[in-house]
Amino acid sequence: MTSRPVSSHISRRRFVGGVIVGSGLLFFPRFSRAVDSLAPSRKLGVALVGLGGYSTNQLGPALRQTQHCRLTGVVTGDLAKGKKWAHDYRFSEKNIFGYETIEQIAGNPDIDVIYIVTPNSLHAGHCIAAARAGKHVICEKPMALSVAECDAMIAACKAAGVRLMIGYRLHYEPHHIELARLAHDKVFGAFMRMDGANGFLMRGTSADTGNWRANKKLAGGGPLMDMGVYVIQAACMAKVEAAPTAVTAHFGPVTRPELFSEVEESVRWEMEFSDGAKATCLATYAENLSRFRADAEGGWARLEQPAFYYDEPKLTTSKGAVHLPKVNHQAAQLDGMALELMTGQPSRAPGEMGRRDVAIIEAIYAAAKSGQRSTVQG
Ligand code: NAD
C-alpha cells in the first residue's frame, strides 16, 4: 500500500448542499462492492464508537445538520448513556452496542458506517472489529499508534470490502481546500517554506486514564499525535500531498513534570521534502497556538490563528484576504464522506493518508529521541 499521491487532480470543484466535493482526490483506494450498493437517495446511517467529548459536543450535533447521513447507533461502555443517546437522536435501542460487541453490528440494516472516536490506542482494534462487521469505517486521528497497526487496519478493511477513512475534517473545509488548490495550481509557484504550530494549554495534574491524552498507553504519544498531525496535514497539503523524505526534531522543556511524566509536553520538528522544501513545525500542550504559513517565490498563503480549531479559519494570501463559505467542519466532513461513499468517488482522506501521517510521526519521534536526522519510511 503506497503512501504517495497517485494523482494530482484537484482543479474540479463543485458545491453540493454547501459541501465542496470532487476535488483533492489525491489518493485512490480500491472501490468495494459495499460502496457500489449504497443507494444515493437515502441518508447513510452512522454509529459513533465512544461517546466522549468529540462525539457529544461536535459529531453528534453535526449529525443533526447533515443532509446525507444521520446518527443511527452508538457503541458505548455505558448502557444508560446509550439509551439517552437513542432517545435524544431518535434511533432504536437495539442499535446500542458495547465495545466487545462491535462485530454484532454485522447485518444491522440501519448502520452503514462505524465512526471510531475512542482514545488513540483503541483505534486499531475498534476499526478491525468494525471492518469485520462489514461496515465502512471512519477513524479519528491519529489513525493508530504505529504504521504496523495502520497496515492491519487497511488490510482488515480491504479484506471486508469496506472503506477506511480518517476523520480529517479540514480536507472538507473550504479555506483548507483553497490552500490545497493554491498549492496544486502553483498560483504562487511551489511552496518551499512552511511554518506551522498547533496546540492547547492542557489542564490536569496527572497522566491517569481520565486524562488519557497524557497517558502513554492510551494516547501513544503527546501533542505530536494529537495536535501535530494537523501541522503535518497542512504541510503535506501545501506540497500537493507529497510526504516528507526526512525529519529532524527535538522535545521541548518539561515545565509540568507531574502531568508530562509519560508523553512530551511539546516537540519541534523540521520536515524536508524531495524538492528541497522545508516545514518548521511545533506541537504543544503548553499554550494555545494554531497557525500555518506557506511561502513560494511568487507569494504566500497564511491560515491565521486559529488555523486548525473548529472556528472558521481565515485565509490570507499575498494577494489579500480570501472569502469563502463558513461551514460546520464536522457536518461538512460527514456529508462529504457520505457523498463519496454513495457516489463511489475516492475519499479525500483515506486510510492510506492516515498511514502516511503515522509514518511521519514515527520518524519525528525517532529523530527527537536519537537527536539524529530520521528518514520517513514510505
Ligand atoms: P474523550 O476522552 O472525551 O472521549 C473518549 C471516549 O472513549 C469516552 O466516551 C470514553 O468513555 C471512551 N473510552 C472507551 N474505552 C476507553 C478507555 N479504555 N479509556 C478511556 N476512554 C475510553 O476523548 P475525545 O476528545 O472525544 O477524543 C476521542 C478521539 O477523537 C481521539 O482519537 C481524538 O484524537 C479524536 N478527536 C478528534 C478531533 C478532531 O477535530 N478531528 C477532536 C477531538 C478529538
For ligand 1, atom 31, which residue shows the shortest CA distance?
119
Share of the chain above pLDDT 70, in %: 89
Catalytic residue among 230, 239, 285, 365: 230
Q: Would the CB of 115 count as within 6 Å of ligand 1?
A: no
pLDDT recorded at residue 209: 65
Rounded to the nearest angstrom, the distance between the alpha carbon of 74 and the centre of ligand 1 is 14
Q: Are 328 and 65 in contact (CB under 8 A)?
A: yes
Chain-wide mean pLDDT for the chain?
90
- State yes or no: pLDDT of 221 exceeds 60: yes
Q: For 153-186, what is each residue's pLDDT tens digit?
A: 999 999 999 999 999 999 999 999 999 999 999 9
Q: Model's pTM, two decimal places?
A: 0.91
Nearest CA-CA partner of 198 in 221, 165, 231, 172: 231
Q: For 314-332, what is each residue's pLDDT tens digit?
A: 999 999 999 999 999 999 9
pLDDT recorded at residue 38: 54
- pLDDT greater at residue 10 or residue 108: 108
pLDDT recorded at residue 27: 39
Task: State yes or no: is 309 an active-site residue.
Answer: no
Q: For 225-271, what is each residue's pLDDT tens digit?
A: 999 999 999 999 999 999 999 999 999 999 999 999 999 999 999 99
- Give the number of other Cβ atoms within 10 Å of residue 167's Cβ: 21
For ligand 1, atom 5, which residue shows the shortest CA distance?
52
